[in-house]
Amino acid sequence: MKRAVVISIILVIAVIGIGQWHWQNQINETAKQVNIELENERNAKEEYLPQAVDEPNQSERPMGEIKAEFATSFQEANTAYEATISQLMLEAEQEYVEVVLTGEQSHQELVDAYQQAFFEAQTEWSETFWREYEQLQLELVENGYWREDAFDFEFEHELILEVTTHTFIQALLLLGQNIQMESIAN
């Protein structure tokens, strides 16, 4: 009986030892594969990165100059977009008084119509932005900079897009309340 217990213990220890050895080999093999994949991925990324230049290119323009040139066109597009939205809101307010308050049209129909007009104006503005933004990125790359250096313009565009969407739709939905408040104040 003692002999069977000793043999059983030895077998259990052997099985555990072999299992740990196998497990450690699997971990080592997986680590090697991951390192190979990471190295391949790193090499692939380096192919797409701009190559470092030992001597500065005399035709390179300063990044600030490039960005300033495009900032002007972005600002002009933003100003035109904001003017369009303001005009749409004025028209919606006028139509609310003329059509919704007289019962010819429901408030929801007015909201739907002006929301559609808003999204059309927004789409046109965004298309203009993305065309200019691609040109900016190309200009940056041609002058030895990263495409990502233009990200601050994209961030500003997305911020304006979110804020104007929220503000315009909220103003449309509250249109009747705003006009009633104005008439009470007068």
Give pLDDT, residue 22. Answer: 66
Tokens of 29: 């093999």
Domain residue spans of the chain: 1-49, 63-185
Q: Measuring CA to CA, which residue among 157, 111, 112, 166 is closest to residue 134? A: 157
Tokens of 64: 């600030």
Give pLDDT, residue 54. Answer: 43
Averaged pLDDT, groups of 10, the chain, 186 residues long? 74 69 69 70 61 49 93 95 96 94 93 97 97 96 93 95 96 79 56
Give pLDDT, residue 57. Answer: 47
Give pLDDT, residue 96. Answer: 94
Q: Measuring CA to CA, which residue among 166, 153, 168, 171 is closest to residue 78? A: 153
Which residue in the block uniquely carries the two structure tokens 């808003």?
A: 118
Give pLDDT, residue 8. Answer: 72
Q: What is the pTM of this model?
A: 0.63
Give the span between the Cα atoms of 29 and 24, in whole angstroms.
9
Give the span between the Cα atoms of 171 and 178, in whole angstroms.
8
Give pLDDT, residue 53. Answer: 45
